[in-house]
Amino acid sequence: MKAIIIAAGTGTRLYPITKDIPKSLLDVGQGLTLLETQLHSLQECGIKDIVIIIGYRADQIETKLDEYRDTFNIETVYNPFFETSNNLVSVWMARHHFSEDFITINGDDIFDASVIKTLQNSPHPITMVTDVKSEYDEDDMKIVTAGELVKSVSKKIPLDEANGESVGIIKFTGSGKELYTQTLESMVREPENLNVFYLKAIQKIIDNGHPVHFSRCDPKDWGEIDFHPDLELIRQYVTRTNLVGRILDKS
Instruction: List pLDDT tens digits, range 188-203.
Output: 999 999 989 999 999 9
Percent of the chain at pLDDT exceeding 90:
73
Asked if residue 248 has pLDDT above 80, the reply is no
Q: How far is CA 217 from CA 22, 62, 236, in A?
A: 27, 30, 20
Q: What is the pLDDT of residue 169?
A: 98
Whether pLDDT at 165 is above 80: yes
Over residues 47-62, mean pLDDT: 97
- Burial group, residue 100, by CB count within 10 angstroms (0-12, 13-18, 19+): exposed
Topology, domain 2-250: Spore Coat Polysaccharide Biosynthesis Protein SpsA; Chain A (3.90.550)
Strand partners, 127: 171, 213
Q: What is the pLDDT of residue 60?
A: 96
With 80 as the cut, is the pLDDT of residue 163 above it?
yes
Please confirm whether the linkage preceding 16 is cis (ω < 30° from 0): yes
Q: Where are the domains of the chain?
A: 2-250
pLDDT at position 175:
97
- pLDDT tens digits for 94-126? 999 999 999 999 999 999 899 999 999 999 999
Q: How far apart are the C-alpha atoms of 5 and 13, rounded to whole Å?
A: 20
CA distances from 118 to 26, 112, 123, 186, 243 (A): 27, 11, 11, 31, 17
Amino acid letter, residue 50: I
With a cut of 90, say whether residue 57 has pLDDT above it: yes
- Residue 27: is its pLDDT beyond 80? yes
- The pLDDT value given to residue 250: 58
**Cα–Cα separations (whole angstroms), residue 234 to 22, 28, 228:** 16, 7, 10
Pairwise CA distance, residues 200 & 180, whole Å: 11
Rounded CA separation 116/97 (Å)? 19
Beta bridge partners of 104: 4, 170
Burial of 69 (0-12, 13-18, 19+ CB in 10 A): exposed
Are 112 and 221 a contacting pair, CB within 8 Å?
yes
